[in-house]
Amino acid sequence: MTISLSDRAFRAIVIQAVVVALVAAAGWYLVANTLRNLDLRGIATGFGFLWREAGLPIAESPIAYAPTDNYGRALLIGVLNTLKVAAIGVVLATLLGTAIGIARLSKNWLLCRLSAIYVEFLRDLPLLLQLLFWYTLLQILPGPRGALQPLPGVYLSNRGLLFPSLVWEGAHLAILGLAALGLLLTIVYRRIARAAQLRDGRHRPVWPAACLLMLAAPAIAWAALGRPAEIDVPTLQGFNFHGGVLVSPEFFALLFGLVTYTAAFIAEIVRAGILAVSPGQWEAARALGLPTGLILGKIVLPQALRVIVPPLTSQYLNLTKNSSLAVAIGYQDIVSVANTALNQTGQAIEGIAIIMAVYLSISLSISLFMNWFDRRTTLKGR
Amino acid sequence: MPIHLSWVRANLFSSWLSTAVTLLLAYLIARGLIAMLDWSIVKAVWSVPGGDTEICRALRGSGACWAVVGTKYRFILFGAYPYDEQWRPAVCIALFVALYALSANRALWRRELVLVWLAILGAIGVLMWGGVFGLVAVPQDRWGGLPVTLILATFGIALAFPIAILVALGRRSDMPAIRWLCIAYIELIRGVPLISLLFVASVIFPLFLPEGLELDKLLRAQIAIILFAAAYLAEVVRGGLQSLSDGQYEAADALGLGYWRKTSLVILPQALRQVIPPLVNTFIALFKDTSLVLIIGIFDLLSAAKTAIVEPAWQGFGVEVYLVVASIYFAFCFAMSRYSQALEGHLLRKTRR
């Protein structure tokens, strides 16, 4: 074999070697510059700072935290706060988005137009602008004394949203455990019922067993345990509220903004998904005499899901990434905490590397999970 | 549109459920509209003589204080650009709009359009910077407002485009090293939020550079936005490349064209035409995303609006200012998204024919 540049395989190797060498050289140049600059400015490197005292206050945290704790714990709380807003946001955005997407296809002209206007407005404005707008709106609300009361016991003021909560007792945990066990048993029962139906063709409804296992059993247990239900209702004392659960204005504005914004995109995805199911499916189901709810649930949605899931995944990822805008309104997510940490320690590279690593792992986990879900729902070809 | 009774019955009152929905929505819309008109027009304050905002404060939020917009609109639109020179950013905005209008015209989709883009973007640079043709030089840290938003978005997409084409081609290349490099680039950028890239631009870029060399903050943010947009655009372009049938590649091979001639003469002209609607959508997303530069302290439109209400006299009138800024963003994005939809319909009809 002669080696010459006109040989395709050899040329490919040369091109790749040159490109890789160029990229490596550029990377090496940047790293060398960075090391020299860090040295000149006397900035420490490495992740040792994670074990140093942070001294940064965090307003809301799902686990115990004091400013005397170390940076590692502060960053962990940032991650938990990000996950919290993303998880709640994904669920609420899916519900709202699906509702609006279906409303968009409604035969009622007013409902259809209104949801179209919603989608158009929310999609065409920057999310950051929307977040700042909601946050500003919350700030000009009256104080606790003049708080709005949208529902009895629920108060909305410039301190945030307050609602009644259940006083948590050990008995509740047992009841919750029982309900979870009920869910598990229901799933097992459903499998058995399905298998039996495949054998003799007789349909066995699952819902009576489900009601019994998941609702009735925990309810009986609750009654047997002496009906523990002390509700903590927020009450105004002096200038502030006591009791209840407080949702901070920062969290509320961020969640509200993320959910309403993402719901607009999800609505379009759901609409496109439902439209992608051919009208023949509707007609065939109607000819069988199925009611609309059953057609939607058993025939149209399962087929629409195949079209909906992939773009929905990217919306979930977008919502998670967009939650990083929290830094602009002062909700302490990972970006906000890491940003403060890097300003305090000067270790910018490590701080940003942590932010990126967190988001990359969240993105990767969501897409792995959704790929698995997608594989389960795709049509199995024969 | 004449409204017939039958249309009303079929579309608003077809069943008891539909009737209930219609009545409920009509009630809510009526209440919302009345409250809106009351706040924004009936009880609104349009100007404050002598800059005394007490009249606005006395409303306690029951009416809008549009006076804040009247007083601050030059700052919101142009930021801290020298007051006497603000005709220059104003001309730039007009040039940007003209550029969009020209590019929207399908009859002008030719290679020469690239030259028009280069010329107009060059003219905008000269106008903003100054220092030549008797224009006073204005340093970048004084730029602000709408021109900065338009610059970040337009230069972002224009400069990301060639990179995106190369990366998209690289991702479909049969050389593994090149393919993996491109995949790593795309996935890395798309996996992290834009704000982290902007942080990189504002705090790590300066460390990358050799001693004595410094880049403007705006330029650094622009580089981050270009790299960000390139990864998303690369996926858009890849969609176009994949939509071509294998026959096109095979035919070009059969003609004996080499890789670059095949790509530039046969593949790209067809693939890029396919991706214009998603390209416009990417541009809309980027246009909205440029507002994130607020977080690293660059004066774009949103940032200027936020700063306008920092002054104690005007504190608490954020809602009014944000509504005005929202209408500017909406005007641009709505026009572009309508255009993209129309174009999509047109291209679809063309391929079906």
What is the per-residue pLDDT across A246-293, written as a single tens digit (0 to 9) for each?
888 899 999 999 999 999 999 999 999 888 888 899 899 999 998 888
Provide the pLDDT confidence category of residue A166 given band limits of 50, 70 and 90. Answer: confident
A1, part of any domain: no
> Bigger pLDDT: A167 or B328?
B328
pLDDT at A133: 92
Q: Residue A35's domain spans which residues?
A: 8-42
CA distance A57 to chain B (A): 20
Q: What's the half-sphere exposure (Cβ side, CA atoms, 13 Å) at B11?
A: 12
Strand runs labelled E in chain A: 148-151, 154-157, 160-163, 165-166, 231-232, 235-237, 240-242, 245-247
| Window A:261-320, CB contacts with B under 8 Å | none
* Paired tokens of B69: 């917009």
> Comparing C-alpha atoms, which of A225, A215, A252, A104 is closest to residue A169?
A225
A322, part of any domain: yes
Average pLDDT over residues A352-368: 88
Same domain, A200 and A328: no
DSSP code of residue A245? E
Based on the number of CB atoms within 10 Å of its own CB, is B187 exposed (0-12), middle (13-18) or buried (19 or more)? middle
pLDDT at B52: 72
Distance (Å, whole) CA B189 – CA B169: 17
Same domain, A118 and A263: yes
pLDDT digits (tens, 9 = 90+) for A142-164: 777 777 877 777 888 888 888 87
Residues near A16 by beta carbon (within 8 Å), at least 6 away in sequence: B175, B176, B177, B178
Same domain, A179 and A265: no
> Bigger pLDDT: A131 or A55?
A131
In this complex, which of A12, A140, A325 lies closest to B316 when CB atoms are compared? Answer: A140
pLDDT at B198: 92
The CA-atom distances, in angstroms, between A244 and each of A160, A247, B5, B87 are 12, 10, 52, 56
Q: Is A180 a residue whose pLDDT tops 50? A: yes
Based on the number of CB atoms within 10 Å of its own CB, is A59 exposed (0-12), middle (13-18) or buried (19 or more)? exposed
Average pLDDT over residues A349-377: 84
A200, part of any domain: yes
A38, part of any domain: yes
Same domain, A211 and A301: no
Residues near A366 by beta carbon (within 8 Å), at least 6 away in sequence: A313, A316, A317, A320
A218, part of any domain: yes
Closest-CA residue of B relative to A27 is: B208
Partner B contacted by A123 (CB < 8 A): yes
> Bigger pLDDT: B31 or B2?
B31
Provide the pLDDT confidence category of residue A361 given band limits of 50, 70 and 90. Answer: very high
Cβ atoms of B73 and B48 within 8 Å: the answer is no
CB contact under 8 A, B294 and A128: yes
* Paired tokens of B109: 């989709």
Chain B residues lying within 8 Å of A324, measured CB to CB: 193, 195-196
pLDDT exceeding 90 applies to what percent of chain A?
24
Cβ atoms of A108 and B21 within 8 Å: the answer is yes
pLDDT at A134: 92
Same domain, A250 and A331: yes
CA distance A129 to chain B (A): 7
pLDDT digits (tens, 9 = 90+) for B166-213: 999 998 888 888 899 998 899 889 889 999 999 999 888 888 877 777
Same domain, A282 and A179: no
A113, part of any domain: yes
CB contact under 8 A, B177 and A128: no
Same domain, A130 and A87: yes
ipTM of the complex model = 0.89
Chain A residues lying within 8 Å of B306, measured CB to CB: 132
The 10 Å Cβ neighbour count of residue A182 is 20
CB contact under 8 A, A136 and B322: yes
Cβ atoms of A87 and A62 within 8 Å: the answer is no
pLDDT at A2: 57
pLDDT at A3: 64
Same domain, A88 and A136: yes
Q: Is A355 a residue whose pLDDT tops 50? A: yes
Q: pTM of the predicted model, to two decimals?
A: 0.86
pLDDT at B1: 54
Same domain, A153 and A181: no
pLDDT digits (tens, 9 = 90+) for A68-115: 778 888 888 889 999 999 999 999 999 999 999 989 888 888 899 999
Same domain, A25 and A156: no
Closest-CA residue of B relative to A35 is: B207
The 10 Å Cβ neighbour count of residue B306 is 22
pLDDT at B233: 92
pLDDT at B3: 67
CB contact under 8 A, A325 and B292: yes
pLDDT at A380: 58
Q: Kind and range of the H or E element at A272? A: helix A249-276
Average pLDDT over residues B292-300: 89
Domain count across chain A: 3
A153, part of any domain: yes
Closest-CA residue of B relative to A6 is: B258
Same domain, A213 and A157: no
pLDDT at B261: 87
Distance (Å, whole) CA B287 – CA B332: 9
When mean pLDDT is compared across A47-61, A353-367, B148-162, the lowest value belongs to: A47-61
Q: Is A382 a residue whose pLDDT tops 70? A: no
Q: Is A199 a residue whose pLDDT tops 80? A: yes
A357, part of any domain: no
Tell me, what CATH number does A159's domain have? 1.10.3720.10
When mean pLDDT is compared across A20-24, A234-238, A333-337, B207-211, the lowest value belongs to: A234-238
Same domain, A258 and A184: no
Chain B interface disruption, residue of A15, A136, A336, A343, most B CBs within 10 A? A136
Chain A residues lying within 8 Å of B188, measured CB to CB: 360
